[in-house]
Amino acid sequence: MSFVKIMIHAVWGTKNREPYLQKDVRKILFEHIIENAKSKNIYIDTINGHLDHIHCLFSLGSETSISKAMQLIKGESAFWANKEKIIKYKLDWANEYFAVSVSESMIEKVRNYIINQEEHHRKKTFVEEFNEFKKKYKFE
């Protein structure tokens, strides 16, 4: 048996930054994402978001790539949300996403950042946040 613990902080948004993720929708959607991920051997440590995006701290299994995990989380959750009609509009995720590894020493800081999304987004938009991430992690 392999023992792997690679923590990933991923962020993705709704297509065209549509504000479809109201608080009640997020609760239902997050519960589903967590259960579905578990069935695919992806452990979600923390998940939260705001009106137009989601932050997720998860660990990869020994046989799962980041792109596969994102496909399983994003693709399946949109399919499920639309099938169950939890949103009155069609939920589509934007194609792009942000993902970085998180060291053991930074996990608690990332958890707190994810948990406090509502407070955080009183001060800045998702686009501002995403651009800061790209700059901080030298994606530009």
Is pLDDT at 114 greater than 90 in this prediction?
yes
Q: How confident is the model at residue 120 (pLDDT cuts 50, 70, 90)?
A: confident
Note the pLDDT tens digit of each residue in 122-136: 888 888 988 888 898
| Higher per-residue pLDDT: 118 or 59 | 59
Q: What is the pTM of this model?
A: 0.91
The CATH-assigned architecture of domain 6-136 is 2-Layer Sandwich (3.30)
The residues that bridge with 58 in the sheet, in sequence order, are: 8, 44
Residue ranges of the domains in the chain? 6-136
Write out the two tokens for 56. Answer: 């997720």
* Residue partners of 16: CB distance under 8 A and separation at least 6: 94
Q: Average pLDDT of 68-91?
A: 96
The residues that bridge with 47 in the sheet, in sequence order, are: 56
Assess contact for 71 and 40: CB atoms under 8 A: no
